[in-house]
Amino acid sequence: MYLWDQKIIDRLMTSYQKLVVYHFSGTGNSENVAKWMADIANEKGMEVSLINIIKTERRGIEPPEPETLVAFVSPIHGFNYPPVMLNFLIHFPKGQNNVLLLNTRAGMLIGKWITPGLTGIAFYFSALILKLKGYSIKSMFPVDLPSNWISVHPGLNNRTVKYLHDRNQEKVYRFARKVFSGGSDFRGLYEIIQDTLVAPISLGYYFIGRFLFAKTYYASADCNNCDLCIKGCPVKAIKKVDNRPFWTFKCESCMRCMSNCPKQAIETGHGYILAFSLLFSLLLSGIFYTYFAELSSDIEHTFTGFILNSALFLGILAVWYRIIHFAMRFRFVERMIVYTSLTKYKFWGRRYKALKKAGK
Ligand SMILES: Cc1cc2nc3c(=O)[nH]c(=O)nc-3n(C[C@H](O)[C@H](O)[C@H](O)COP(=O)(O)O)c2cc1C
């Protein structure tokens, strides 16, 4: 009897009949958040659609029906939404619905304190895109789930992963109950100062950094050519070259390939990227700057110079990556690269995959 009453009350307190959640996820955090939102929507008797943006035909998206609450959930990559989500938003049809913006970011744990990740420009930029299309933003809500970026930090242990998972599930449930009853939640805005400070880095990551990271991945000799990485890549960035996986500049470093590889053969090549960076600066200072002394001060001190330098860096990196890819057929080179990859080692290389646990 009580449960029945509670259901009626829930329905009466719900301001929307329908929820559509568009999500992108590399290692499962954002997908979990989308599912947690759906748990509460179901509890409130709302009609729910969860849409993985990778599986939709971007240009064929119907505008959302009036009165439908629309949510977008995506990880943060380099202090912004990843390009795949930004492109989706740019091509999203016009409408006048209420919209919830959520992101999942790099949460870590110090004692019982969950250290927050950094959203950067993701909320501001996507809110601007959607506002210009006529939507009304009702929330900006960050969720600090376990960081999956083991290219830059050691993998998290199971206790931390479980703790962050459970705490955030409750947090998302509370958020969903509030916003489905007509409330709003802009706690993402509390971080406007640090988000503004990292804005230049987010641009640097978007235009340069992500291409550099795309060329840090390789498959070691442990690869058995199962092609799971190629089939599972959400942006179709991995192809076969010389009968081994090869990462193109399309890679968004979502970490899905690394996290899913059954042989744990995919690594981040810290050693060879470091070697490349050193060689590149030697090349520039040793040859270029010696022969073109006047040009060198321009390159070092102007914005155009910076762009030229970066383009040169990425261009030569692409060639270097191809050479390394070829040379890895020789055992000695392969072992050198593997042993200078931090992800190879136990203390660092724990792969991350979001916990899959039954919802409510
Ligand atoms: C390439 C890359 C860049 C990242 N950049 C950020 C960042 O700028 N700020 C942040 O808080 N977390 C960052 N992270 C961490 C992820 O956003 C976080 O782990 C997220 O929950 C992963 O979600 P997913 O499992 O849905 O892919 C980054 C992760 C990757 C792989």
Taking the CA of residue 151 as reference, the ligand 1 atom at the shortest distance is 31
24 Cα: distance to centroid of ligand 1 (angstroms) = 12
Residue 288 has pLDDT above 90, yes or no: no
Q: Is the CB of 139 under 6 A from ligand 1?
A: no
* Whether the predicted pLDDT of 251 surpasses 80: yes
Higher pLDDT, 6 or 222: 222
For the chain, where do the domains classified as CATH 3.30.70.20 start and end?
Answer: 204-344
**pLDDT value of position 1:** 47
Strands 136-146 and 98-110: parallel
Q: How far is CA 181 from CA 15, 41, 178, in A?
A: 5, 10, 5
How does pLDDT run across 310-334, given as a tens digit for each residue? 999 999 999 999 999 999 999 999 9
Residue 77 near ligand 1, beta carbon < 6 Å: yes
Q: Angle formed by the axes of helices 158-180 and 29-43, to 10°? A: 40
pLDDT number for residue 2: 53
Residue 287 has pLDDT above 90, yes or no: no
Residue 104 beta carbon below 6 angstroms from any ligand 1 atom: yes
Q: Which two tokens stand for residue 124?
A: 């501001």
Residue 297: which pLDDT band, with cuts at 50, 70 and 90?
low
Indicate the range of 171-175, 228-232, 281-285, 288-292 predicted with least confidence: 288-292
Class of the CATH-defined domain 204-344: alpha beta
Q: Is the predicted pLDDT of residue 293 greater than 90, yes or no?
A: no
Query: Distance between CA 343 and CA 350 in Å, rounded?
Result: 8
Dump the DSSP string for 125-169.
Answer: HHHHHHHHTT-EEEEEEEEEEEP--TTTSPPPPHHHHHHHHHHHH
pLDDT in tens, 109-164: 999 899 999 999 999 999 999 999 999 999 999 999 999 999 999 999 999 999 99
**pLDDT attached to residue 38:** 98
Query: Model confidence at 262, in pLDDT bands (50, 70, 90)?
Result: very high
Q: Is the pLDDT of residue 309 over 50?
A: yes
Three-class secondary structure of residue 17 per DSSP: coil
Domain with CATH 3.40.50.360 in the chain: 2-200
Q: Kindly tell me if the per-residue pLDDT of 82 is higher than 60.
A: yes
Q: Are strands 238-241 and 244-247 parallel, antiparallel or unpaired?
A: antiparallel
Question: Tell me, what's the pLDDT at 15?
Answer: 83
Which residue from 213, 203, 212 is spatially nearest to 343, judged by alpha carbons? 213
For 21-64, the pLDDT digits (tens) are 999 999 999 999 999 999 999 999 999 999 999 998 766 788 99
CATH 3.40.50.360 is the classification of domain 2-200: yes
Q: How far is CA 101 from the centre of its chain?
A: 15
Question: Which ranges of 240-269 does DSSP label H, i.e. alpha helix?
Answer: 256-260
Measure 106 CA to ligand 1 centroid, in angstroms.
Answer: 5
How much distance in Å is there from the Cα of 113 to the middle of ligand 1?
19
For ligand 1, the distance from its centroid to the CA atom of residue 120, given in whole angstroms, is: 12
- How far apart (Å, rounded) are the C-alpha atoms in residues 130 and 58? 16
Q: Which atom of ligand 1 is nearest to the CA of 78?
A: 8
**Mean of the per-residue pLDDT values of the chain:** 93
